[in-house]
A and B are shown apart, each in its own frame.
Chain A
Amino acid sequence: MKKTLCTLLVTMAGLGMLLSASPTSAADYPSKTIHMVVPWKAGGGTDSIGRALAEALKEVADVAVVVDNISGASGVTGSIKVARGKSDGYTILMNGDTDIVASLTFADVPLSLDDFAFIGGFFSSPTWILSHKDRGINTLQEFLDKAKANPGKLTLGSTTPAGAQMIMCAAIKGITGLDFRIIPYQGGADMKKALLGNQVDAGVIHAPVLLSEVKDGLIKVIGTGKPLTLITHKPLRSTQTLRDVGIPISIGITRGIFVPKSTPADVQCKLAEMVEKAAKSESFKTFGQKFGFEPEWISGPEFEKEARESLALFKEIKAKYID
């Protein structure tokens, strides 16, 4: 009995492996379902942006586009899975460039920007600094002045202890040399609650979270890491940036598409074309407007350049002001 089972197992295993192999041709890409890996749990901001793009991409590519949430280690697990996966263009990664860069900066992970080919960025947003209206702080300069006058008293919240937001907080504190306290929170929902409950003087979070509360007047945008020129809510377009107050860095996040480095060049080209079309499509534009930002297309090479610059910047700030 056991022997027959064994031989059966072996033959079936062999058959199974034969069945799993299937070559794809680059010329008729895409011809089957594309899996878009979003390395975060379903329901977050990045996930929603990814799903909106997936819907738009479906129309452009004329194939099914399925979102796989492969969460873990702040996006590292999913990113590594794609980097090491099949390079036929049917498994693509959707992530924010500074999210990847931040995890490379803070943790020792077997991942590097060289593992990827950058297809392009399609949704850019700066990281902004918010404050509850009852705190009476209107601009970043006011916050810095107040911090100077009251050393050790003001609190600046960061959405995560190891992300782009923390780099921004550390940079502000380090470059200005002022004495205020940085409070790390555990994610967007936590930071939102702290801001809505007026528990910190200011908080750093990716735009456009809390945009509707800003429009309503409950929360104020006191500063931003990059110019807010593309935000749909016009009055915010002239918010003070870090550079305006003498902090010469830019921090934001651009969501883009990545594929493994060894993906054939023509597949990459075709994919870039499709994603660009999807990003500029009506449905994605509408989503962007409702969400808060006009989508903009950043081509692959430029996207890669941005990411590498951010990596260098983050590593520098971490080495100088955090360690």
Chain B
Amino acid sequence: MSRHQKGALKRDIFLCSFFIFVGMVALVSINTAKGHGNVAGTQTLNFSTLPNVYSGLLVLFSIMILAGSARKLWKNRSAQPQKIQVDSNNGPVASRRTILTRTWGSLVLLIVYTLVLEQIHFILLSTLFLASLFLLFGQRSPLKIAGLALSGGIGFYLLFIVGLNLPI
């Protein structure tokens, strides 16, 4: 089977394991929590009933999907014909590595921005944030980058801080 399909199955397995983990944690957490008084006395449905049901089902379904993907991967059978992602736009699309760098890179930048949002001056930080993203996404003209980033920073400042009175 193609590398692409193998990768897809591996991702399935990763995600399903994550769900199983989440479900397990949920089951453990809800069943070790001590509930205080049943004021309304709905005995059949108490605070842990539905979370138990949902986490149980989550684990069950994830195991089923995981098993299916693992079996396919092992038996090396070709997967069902997947809908091939046809980008209706033709043109030079970036390499896989670039795409991954950009995706996770923008996530990192976003997290950093959120972490320091309340410490560093807003216009400054937002302008830097926008500029770094522009650079990350492949723009190279310094004038355009600086111009758009600065106007974005100032514009959002006016809109959110002055206009909306956001307490940042």
Contact = CB atoms under 8 A, between A and B. Distances in A.
Interface in B99-118: 116
Interface string A4-21: 010001001101110110
Contacts of B119: 16-17, 20
A278 to B, nearest CB: 20
A15 B124 contact: yes
Contact of B41 (A16, A181, A323): A181
B125 to A, nearest CB: 7
Interface string B115-142: 0100111001100100010010000000
B132 to A, nearest CB: 7
B40 interface: yes
Contacts of A169: 39
Contact of A16 (B36, B40, B120): B120
Given A20-B119, A66-B165, A184 B39 contact: yes
A182 B40 contact: yes
Contacts of A20: 119-121
B39 A161 contact: yes
Nearest to A81: B167
A93 interface: no
A51 B28 CA distance: 44
Contact of A12 (B39, B40, B124, B165): B124
A70 B167 contact: yes
A109 interface: no
B37 A322 contact: yes
Contacts of A15: 121, 124
A323 B34 CA distance: 11
A35 B40 contact: no
A56 interface: no
Interface in B46-91: none
B154 to A, nearest CB: 15
Interface of B: 36-37, 39-41, 116, 119-121, 124-125, 128, 132, 135, 165, 167
25 contacts: A5-B132, A5-B135, A13-B120, A15-B121, A16-B120, A17-B119, A17-B120, A17-B121, A19-B121, A20-B119, A20-B120, A35-B167, A68-B165, A91-B167, A161-B39, A161-B40, A166-B39, A169-B39, A170-B39, A181-B40, A182-B39, A182-B40, A184-B40, A323-B36, A323-B37
Interface of A: 5, 9, 12-13, 15-17, 19-20, 35, 37, 66, 68, 70, 91, 161, 166, 169-170, 181-184, 322-323
